[in-house]
Chains A and B, each alone.
Chain A
Amino acid sequence: MSSTEIGYIRKELPEKIKTIGLTLFVVGTALGIIGFLIDPQRASLSYLVTFMFLVSIGVGSLFLVALEYAVGADWSTPFRRISEFLAAVIPFLIILVIPLLFNLKYIFPWTHKSIVDSSVMLRGKTPYLNIPFFIIRSIGIFLIWWVFYYFIIRNSRKQDTTKDQYLTKKNINISSGFIPVFGISITAIAFDWMMSLEPNWFSTIFGVYYFSGTVWCALAALTLIVILLNEHGYLHSKIKSEHYYTLGLLMFAFTVFWAYIAFSQYLLIWYADLPDETIWFMHRWVGGWKVVSLAIVFTHFIFPFFYLLSYNVKMQAKKLKFIAIWILCAHFLDLYWLVMPGMSTNGYQYSFSWMDLVFPVAAVGLIILIFKSLSHKYNLLPIGDPKLQRGLDFHL
């Protein structure tokens, strides 16, 4: 199957995108560095939120790619490459984590000996929560993700030129290996980087909670980019509202899944009403955080649920674009809500800071730059994939 048969005409993305990405990235990074110089404590927490957001986008997208291979889906094959480009954030995570590793003492209460000594529970957790093991774990997980990313993406790209169907089979095997590894590693990352902000608190479902958010967020990013590119004719004329509908359907499913998991976590803690467990929600129910908590319920579940319920919304590119942006913002707010109220356990008083808005700008710039440079080198459609034609012909 050649590219002419499929009818994909490769077009270069405009240079303007690179300028926008570069501007956002440079401005964001510069302000971020200033932030770190002024107030490293506050800056490292703001940075952590954005870092987790990038983890969401990167590993969530790689999960979508692996999922497509593992279940043999063909409707999503035409835009698998978009997810692959987004997953290219993964190799950068190992660099991006460095500023955090140098500021662990500002972020995590368990790095302070006095706090650990004061709590029986924290002393018991020391074999897991100690700085060397923590760093090994994080770097190790990012490396494992990178290895999977490398092999899956390498095979996928090779197929563009070789058209070798055996590569799909190979990727199915790698993906099937990746999914369980992903399940465990995303839990470890969620526990390490977000749950241990309040180290006395624990919730076994926390990893699943973060997982539901990552996939939701990766889907929204995918939807947004697919629609933007396709509207301007960079993808394929055969990608149409029925493809959008299916993306909308998955976003809807993950909206409900997130709510299910979030409520499961809340209900058990609410029922048992044990001080050790409720303290986490109490931190999120004082002062202005009460408003944020209610806003999470609205932005993360109620609004997307009722909005995406409609068939017509899912068929319309414009409305899906809106909800995709909404979802990306809602996921960021969710991460912010997970990280920030825990500051008080480390002895700081929370207040909103301009830095909270600086790092996401740099992150968006980074994603645009990565996307632009990869689209310069590779096709936006996996033209060698045997499932591509079926994906393009997809009907409801």
Chain B
Amino acid sequence: MNENKVLHSVAALFDTPDKIINAARKVKDAGYTMFDVNTSYPVHGMDKAMGLGQSKIGYVTLFFGFAGAVFIFLFMGWSMAINYPYIVGGKPFFPYQAFIPITFEVTVLCGSIATVVGMLAVFFNLPFLSHPIHDSNYIKEVSVDKFGVVIEAEDPLFDKNKVVEFLKNLGAGKIEFIYEPEKQAIKILQPKFIVFLAVVAALTSFSTYFTLNKLMYIVPFNWMDNQKKSNPQSETNFFYDGYAMRTPVEGTVARGFMPYPFHEQALPSEPLANPTLPTKQILKIGQEKFLTFCSPCHGNYAEGVSRLMGQFPPGPTLHSAKIIGYSDGMIYNIITNGQNAMPSYAYQIPREQRWAIIDYIRVLQRAQNPKPSDFQAIKELNKESGKNVVN
């Protein structure tokens, strides 16, 4: 009946831990190497009796634990300091102290999961999910109150009859032949498994929904909602003015913000110097911002003729002698504070860009009122490039 099947091993059952220790020692001494012992609880001294060396599984734990620690530490560092730099609680961008608890936990997690998976991989020879002795009567007895030895057929010294004789001499109670099952890869799409997955999914969804939408609103889990605190944008009787939110103390300055000292003054009381140099780069920024913010009223060339076409009080030309005579600081003050119908652009245009716009206005003004030396310079440029830059 069993002739087609391949013999995997011969299993023998023993009654007491002393007998199994003795049997393991004898099996080892007889020269067998491919054998294993199954007991229902750990029997101390078994490693030595079986002649086992130190388990290698520790290295798997060490490697994956260490890898997990390094990975999560660098990952947190990358996400907090590089990918999305974000300050939490006034700590630096790379608060490694705060990473340590998580590093510790991920180390334990990776180490333990790798140990279990590594162990299963060795025992079951993954992707197979069972061992030949799983379906035997032997494993049932061993899981309850017996102690067993299995000698595998792959052992170089294996001889069916000799092994049976040998085990009987050791005082084995019952002897069982274990055959290789037909090897099957994992069947994922079994109806049983799919139903199981569906049940798990339904249970998980329901418990999540129940916890978040129902349980949290049941006493005592909802106590956290009734705290002695004021919510933003609400009333309170804690403060004299009845507002829960506080306004910043007078004179508070936002981080990284330099307040403009001549706020709402028609003339700056001290001269302001332009901190930028009219380089090509700055002028490019100035041109872009001028076209965006200034040209709708003052015109693309600051000539006072604009796209508004009289629907709004037109912006004056910036080529008048009065404005050419203005200092950079004066123009800066006007952009910052506004003047007459012109509103303040302090919130739309950052400080450096306002100065860049002024540089660009100076270029436009110079283009309308060139000096003789400018013509000379253009001629030289034309000669060099061989083209007419300006007619």
Contact = CB atoms under 8 A, between A and B. Distances in A.
Interface stretch (A60-68, A83-91, A262-270, A367-375): A262-270
A395 interface: yes
Interface size class of B (residues with CB under 8 A): 10 to 19
A395 B98 contact: no
A271 B98 contact: yes
Contacts of B97: 266-267, 270
A263 B100 contact: yes
B184 interface: no
Nearest to B43: A395
A311 interface: yes
Contacts of A312: 54
A394 interface: yes
Nearest to A256: B104
A396 interface: yes
A309 B107 CA distance: 14
Contacts of B90: 273
B192 interface: no
A395 B98 CA distance: 41
Interface in B231-275: none
B100 A395 contact: no
Contacts of A309: 62
B45 interface: yes
Contacts of A311: 54, 58
B48 A395 contact: yes
A394 B101 contact: no
B99 to A, nearest CB: 11
A311 B58 CA distance: 9
A74 to B, nearest CB: 11
Interface string A371-384: 00000000000000
Contacts of B47: 396
B98 A396 contact: no
Interface string B50-76: 000010001000100000000000000
B44 A396 contact: yes
B89 interface: yes
B89 A271 contact: yes
Given A273-B90, A311-B58, A267 B45 contact: no
A180 B100 CA distance: 31
A267 B100 contact: yes
Interface in A276-335: 309, 311-312
B102 to A, nearest CB: 12
A83 to B, nearest CB: 23
A211 B18 CA distance: 41
Contacts of A394: 44
B264 to A, nearest CB: 39
Interface string B14-49: 000000000000000000000000000000110110
Contact of A267 (B44, B54, B58, B101): B101
A395 B45 contact: yes
Interface string B82-99: 000000011000000110
A257 to B, nearest CB: 13
Contacts of B62: 309
A239 to B, nearest CB: 15
A237 B89 CA distance: 60
Contacts of B101: 267
A24 to B, nearest CB: 40
A36 to B, nearest CB: 41
Interface in B77-131: 89-90, 97-98, 100-101
Interface in B141-159: none
A263 B97 CA distance: 9
Contacts of A395: 44-45, 48
A39 B355 CA distance: 69
Contacts of A263: 100
Contacts of B48: 395
A192 B181 CA distance: 69
Interface string A246-267: 0000000000000000010011
Nearest to A271: B89
Nearest to A312: B54
A304 to B, nearest CB: 17
A179 to B, nearest CB: 27
For the complex of A and B, list the 5 residue pairs with the smallest distance between their C-beta atoms, beginning with the closest: A395-B45, A395-B44, A270-B97, A311-B54, A267-B97
Given A270-B97, A273-B90, A395-B44, 19 more contacts: A263-B100, A266-B97, A267-B97, A267-B98, A267-B100, A267-B101, A271-B89, A271-B98, A273-B89, A309-B62, A311-B54, A311-B58, A312-B54, A394-B44, A395-B45, A395-B48, A396-B44, A396-B45, A396-B47
22 contacts: A263-B100, A266-B97, A267-B97, A267-B98, A267-B100, A267-B101, A270-B97, A271-B89, A271-B98, A273-B89, A273-B90, A309-B62, A311-B54, A311-B58, A312-B54, A394-B44, A395-B44, A395-B45, A395-B48, A396-B44, A396-B45, A396-B47
